[in-house]
């Protein structure tokens, strides 16, 4: 048996669990004491704003956590595309350099084999009993009204020869005109002269060199094995 002694006479002992009850009673008392509705509304608005800010913080934090991996993936993709663009730019620089070198080589080597072609075509077109006495070359005259002043003028040549047969002369003209490497074949003069006590036809023909179509070009290897 337990005996309890009240050291403060006249004061009642608090019942168990009185602390929580007192807090509830104070809140109820506060509600009864506050009679101003604007104050109540302000307090409610502050509580609502605080709740909204807390909810927004939690939601945005969750979204930010989700966007982190996507941001890293986007950065990796950007690095990959930057590497591809740098490689493409480097390849374009190499291509432009090669094209410039090819253009330079073509400019230097373009007219190297002009006269071998001309001599070969004239020799193939020459009929029997016909021979050449002189062959001269010159550049075509510049045209004053040409828009492109830097255009390459065609190589011109003139041949003088003799023939025992006038029909051979006309055949020589037709065969020169049929050549894919020659153009502007023009007879300048044809007359009969006496040479070594025999009448022969002396002629002068002028023509220009033109680059033939690729179908007429035949290539061979530079070196061949010899058995």
Mean pLDDT per block of 10 residues along the chain (227 residues) reads 56 52 62 58 74 79 74 84 90 90 70 80 93 86 51 78 92 94 92 90 93 67 55
Give the pLDDT of residue 146.
47
Alpha-helical (H) ranges within 110-186 are: 114-125, 166-178
Give the pLDDT of residue 49.
77
| 117-147 per-residue burial string, b: 16 or more CB within 10 A, e: under 16 | bbeebbeebbeeebeeeeeeeeeeeeeeeee
Please give the CATH architecture assigned to the domain spanning 114-142+153-212.
2-Layer Sandwich (3.30)
pTM: 0.49
Give the pLDDT of residue 56.
80
Distance CA 85, CA 139 (A): 48
Give the pLDDT of residue 65.
75
């Amino acid at each position: 048996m337990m005996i309890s002694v009240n050291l403060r006479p006249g004061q009642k002992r608090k019942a168990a669990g009185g602390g929580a009850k007192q807090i509830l009673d104070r809140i109820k008392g506060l509600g009864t004491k506050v009679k101003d509705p604007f104050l109540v509304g302000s307090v409610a608005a502050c509580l609502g704003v605080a709740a909204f800010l807390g909810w927004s913080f939690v939601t945005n934090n969750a979204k930010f956590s989700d966007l982190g991996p996507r941001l890293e993936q986007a950065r990796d993709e950007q690095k990959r595309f930057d590497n591809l663009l740098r490689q493409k730019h480097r390849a374009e620089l190499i291509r432009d350099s090669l094209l410039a070198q090819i253009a330079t080589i073509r400019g230097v080597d373009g007219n190297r084999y002009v006269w071998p072609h001309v001599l070969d075509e004239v020799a193939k077109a020459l009929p029997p009993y016909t021979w050449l006495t002189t062959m001269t070359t010159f550049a075509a005259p510049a045209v004053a009204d040409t828009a492109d002043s830097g255009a390459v003028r065609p190589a011109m040549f003139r041949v003088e020869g003799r023939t025992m047969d006038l029909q051979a002369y006309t055949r020589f003209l037709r065969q020169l005109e049929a050549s894919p490497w020659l153009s502007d074949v023009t007879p300048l003069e044809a007359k009969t002269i006496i040479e070594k006590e025999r009448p022969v036809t002396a002629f002068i023909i002028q023509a220009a060199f033109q680059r033939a179509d690729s179908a007429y070009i035949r290539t061979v290897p530079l070196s061949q094995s010899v058995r």
